[in-house]
Amino acid sequence: AQSVAQPEDQVNVAEGNPLTVKCTYSVSGNPYLFWYVQYPNRGLQFLLKYITGDNLVKGSYGFEAEFNKSQTSFHLKKPSALVSDSALYFCAVRDLSGGSYIPTFGRGTSLIVHP
Amino acid sequence: EPEVTQTPSHQVTQMGQEVILRCVPISNHLYFYWYRQILGQKVEFLVSFYNNEISEKSEIFDDQFSVERPDGSNFTLKIRSTKLEDSAMYFCASSEARTGAYEQYFGPGTRLTVT
């Protein structure tokens, strides 16, 4: 079975400061991992993914995420937050050893960047 | 940039009524999905669709639900007899291929309110 946890409902950060949005996962085999962002009144928008290869993945809008197999984590990071980054962020995982092609989404973390 | 569209943006219906939610996936995508998100809860998978048939479905997708691709562009979700607990945001998504390694593109959602 595959599952994902986003332990923080909300993350607050000042503009210009680094941000981290946490995600941990549980799978039987190897994972595919995804981050999506949802702006108000919009659908989920793909940010980045880890499939294989380099543990540090770079995505849209200056975001990156690091795959850490030993800690089963895939935290989303950005060196310098912008007010426009304020949105809802979803982590998703798919277990390669499972029979389903459908990823499981986390509950979402609300990122608030203060000016 | 191509995007997934959904109509209506908000649907209010009475308990027991039938509703049809409509989606237009990205034109060259082959796989289509419906998800729902009850307020404050996780994004939950309902069903995936490929080559005019259901590929996978969750336990939520019971006999009250059905999907259809009536023409070359639309993808619909029908709820035959709505219940109060069907109130949620419903998202349509599409992907180029099976979502194991391919990201999904989401529409803006339809907010369904059952009274």
Of A96, A102, A107, the CB nearest to B99: A102
> Are the beta carbons of B106 and A45 separated by less than 8 Å?
yes
A10-14 and A109-114 strand pairing: parallel
| Residue of B29, B33, B43, B55 to mutate for A, most A C-beta atoms under 10 A | B43
B107: Cα within 13 Å, side-chain hemisphere: 29
pLDDT tens by residue, A25-58: 999 888 999 999 998 878 889 999 999 889 999 9
* Cα(A94)–Cα(A25) distance, integer angstroms: 9
Total beta-carbon pairs less than 8 A apart between chain A and chain B: 56
pLDDT tens by residue, A61-97: 999 999 999 999 999 999 999 999 999 999 999 988 8
What integer pLDDT is reported at residue A19 of this predicted model? 97
Taking CB atoms and an 8 Å cutoff, what residues of chain B touch A43?
A: 4, 6, 91, 93, 105-109
Of B6, B42, B108, the CB nearest to A106: B42
> Are the beta carbons of B4 and A43 separated by less than 8 Å?
yes
What integer pLDDT is reported at residue B99 of this predicted model? 57
* Cα(A65)–Cα(A8) distance, integer angstroms: 16
Q: Quote the minimal CA–CA distance from A39 to chain B in Å.
A: 10
Residues 6+ away with beta carbon under 8 Å from B75:
B22, B23, B24, B25, B32, B49, B67, B68, B69, B92, B94
How high is the mean pLDDT of chain B?
92
Q: Which residue of A has its CA nearest to B104?
A: A46
Taking CB atoms and an 8 Å cutoff, what residues of chain A touch B6?
A: 43
Of B99, B105, B108, the CB nearest to A103: B99
**Cα→Cα distances A9→A88, A89, B39, B40, B96, Å:** 9, 10, 14, 10, 31
What integer pLDDT is reported at residue A93 of this predicted model? 93
Tokens of A62: 């200056």
**∠A52-B107-B83 over CA atoms, to 5°?**
115
Contact B56, B46 (CB under 8 A): no
- Return contacts of B45-50, CB within 8 angstroms, 24+ apart: B45/A102, B45/A104, B45/A105, B46/B77, B47/B77, B48/A101, B48/A102, B48/B99, B49/B75, B50/B98
